[in-house]
Amino acid sequence: MFLLASLATVATLLSPVVTPRDTTLGANQSVACGLGPASSPAVANDLRAALDAHNGAVRWDQRRGVVRLWVQRRPAIAADVSVLGADWRRAIAVAADAWSDVVPGLAFAIESDSSRADVIVTWERDLQSAPADGDFAFLTAGRTTLVPAADGRALAAHVRLAIFAPNGERYSIDDVRAVARHELGHALGLAHHAAPTSVMAPLVRAERLSDDDRATLRALYALPIGARCAHSTQTSGK
């Protein structure tokens, strides 16, 4: 298993811009989230976490086509003679591809023009000065802000990736790929998952999506946009 070892990188979901609970989201439906016969308790809990985080099922409308992804060029302060600039962009593309077609028809596509992108990825020297949640907040290596419309449709997302760890060590390309995979899961509407083997665990260790990661994304996209879990409780595993 790939580990982020001593870097102990953590990717944290920022509180997104959301509508109040008394605003109609979609049909304002309450559903028994993930509790069907084919769903495990872990998937049900992770689905509830996503809906709790966003006050409803916030996700992309697949009828609009692919989710367009733009990646900022790495800044000069991030120069690493051992890695080409194109390799960093390729790492983000590989992270995005991990989520492609988990839900049929849902995929990221690299966009060359930021003004046409749905999701933008930018680089920060570090993320230690930004507000954060959780016990490992000071180690945060990535952050995502997901912006929905009033009806719950995802409109835009901003993924910020740290260049340096708190000790000043530059994150490796493997670290960046792992954290980007996690953050792009947030950009699709997922919250943190409880299992440490999940790519959506707060402490990012996993190298690839688990079956439960895939099942949770499918369960989210099977819900009507804006739907809420009946008797939802906060179980995000933060």
β-partners of residue 170 are 164
What is the C-alpha separation between 7 and 106, in angstroms, rounded? Answer: 32
Residue in 156, 91, 171, 82 with CA at minimum distance from that of residue 125: 171
- Residues 142-197 have pLDDT tens digits of 999 999 999 999 999 999 999 988 888 889 999 999 999 999 999 999 999 999 99
* pLDDT (0 to 100) of residue 16: 34
Query: What mean pLDDT comes out for the span 185-212?
Result: 94
**In this prediction, what percent of the chain has a pLDDT beyond 70?**
74
Residue 235 within any structural domain of the chain = no
Mean pLDDT value across the chain: 80
Instruction: Assess contact for 153 and 179: CB atoms under 8 A.
Output: no
- Residues 93-141 have pLDDT tens digits of 999 999 999 999 999 999 999 999 999 999 998 887 554 555 444 568 9
Instruction: Assess contact for 41 and 127: CB atoms under 8 A.
Output: no
CATH number at residue 195: 3.40.390.10
Residue 237 within any structural domain of the chain = no
Please state whether the predicted TM-score (pTM) of the whole model is above 0.85.
no
Instruction: Assess contact for 190 and 46: CB atoms under 8 A.
Output: yes
Choice between 22 and 123, residue whose per-residue pLDDT is larger: 123
Model confidence at 36, in pLDDT bands (50, 70, 90)? low
Instruction: Assess contact for 130 and 143: CB atoms under 8 A.
Output: yes
Residue 171 within any structural domain of the chain = yes
Instruction: Assess contact for 177 and 88: CB atoms under 8 A.
Output: no
Choice between 143 and 228, residue whose per-residue pLDDT is larger: 143
Residue 234 within any structural domain of the chain = no
Which domain, by its residues, includes 220?
A: 5-229
Counting the structural domains of the chain, the total is 1
- Residues 46-95 have pLDDT tens digits of 999 999 999 999 999 999 999 999 999 988 776 776 777 788 999 999 99
